[in-house]
């Protein structure tokens, strides 16, 4: 029987239910049930709930309540860690989930996977696959280097490819 952090689907389903992107706790208040919305933001920006002393991330809980299975990762399609609508969540491997990460804050090229090589006055394209940095090539413009990255990302991450440029 599959569990989420040691909790069975039956147990979690007896405590919580999903409604329009929110998780509510089934709480007995006298003869009636109260339906309190749960979720606190953790240090990484994910919503979570405390279940018997364990912090369970809500996107994983929602996925488990719907599918009764626990994938290696649960990916937010739109990369918004607080958008826990079931249609925004999908099961993923670590590799797939890494394909949907945003651009790093220190990025100066405006394109994911593209870095300027000052001594050459060129732009390098790189991608991380299975935890290893892979060099894709050097081009004259960031747009050209970005095309190299995009092709490799589509090949390795498929539907999990996130947006490749700054907003």
User: What CATH number corresponds to the domain at position 148?
Assistant: 3.30.730.10
Give me the DSSP letters along 8-19: EHHHHHHHEEEE
d(CA 102, CA 89) in angstroms, rounded, equals 16
- Is 111 inside a domain boundary? yes
Task: Among 65, 92, 119, give the residue marking a domain's end.
Answer: 92
- Is 141 inside a domain boundary? yes
Residue of 133, 100, 99, 95 whose CA lies nearest to 115: 133
- My answer on whether 73 and 10 are in the same domain is yes
Residue 163, pLDDT > 80, answer: no
- My answer on whether 46 and 81 are in the same domain is yes
Number of domains the chain contains: 2
- My answer on whether 103 and 125 are in the same domain is yes
Per-chain mean pLDDT for the chain: 89
- Is 165 inside a domain boundary? no
Residue of 51, 48, 108, 40 whose CA lies nearest to 74: 48
Structure tokens at 163: 């947006």
- Is 166 inside a domain boundary? no
- 136: containing domain: 97-160
Residue 33, pLDDT > 90, answer: no
- Do residues 93 and 73 make contact, with C-beta atoms less than 8 angstroms apart? yes
Task: Classify residue 143 by burial, with Cβ atoms within 10 Å: 0-12, 13-18, 19+.
Answer: middle
Q: Which region holds residue 5: left if phi is over 0, alpha if psi is between -120 and 50, else beta?
A: left
- My answer on whether 77 and 138 are in the same domain is no
Q: What is the pLDDT of residues 77-98, one digit of tens each?
A: 999 999 999 999 999 988 888 8
CB burial readout 8-35, b (16+ within 10 A) else e: ebeebeebbebeeebbbbeeeeeeeeee
State the average pLDDT over residues 134-147.
94
- Is 153 inside a domain boundary? yes
Task: Among 59, 92, 125, give the residue marking a domain's end.
Answer: 92
Quick count: other Cβ atoms within 10 Å of Cβ 7?
17
- Is 49 inside a domain boundary? yes
- My answer on whether 124 and 84 are in the same domain is no
- My answer on whether 82 and 116 are in the same domain is no
- Do residues 62 and 4 make contact, with C-beta atoms less than 8 angstroms apart? no
pTM of the full structure: 0.76
């Amino acid at each position: 029987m599959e569990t989420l952090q040691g909790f069975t689907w039956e147990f979690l389903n007896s405590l919580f239910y999903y409604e329009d992107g929110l998780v509510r706790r089934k709480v007995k208040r006298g003869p009636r049930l109260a339906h309190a919305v749960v979720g606190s933001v953790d240090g990484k920006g994910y919503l979570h709930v405390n279940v018997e002393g364990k912090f369970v991330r809500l996107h994983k809980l929602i996925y488990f309540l719907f599918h009764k299975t626990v994938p290696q990762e649960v990916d937010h399609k739109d990369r918004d860690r607080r958008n826990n609508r079931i249609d925004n969540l999908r099961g993923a491997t670590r590799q797939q989930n890494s394909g949907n990460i945003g651009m790093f804050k220190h990025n100066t090229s405006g394109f994911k996977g593209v870095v300027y090589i000052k001594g050459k006055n060129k732009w390098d394209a790189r991608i991380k696959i299975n935890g290893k940095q892979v060099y894709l090539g050097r081009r004259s413009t960031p747009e050209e280097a970005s095309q190299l990255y995009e092709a490799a990302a589509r090949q390795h991450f498929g539907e999990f490819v996130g947006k490749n440029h700054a907003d």
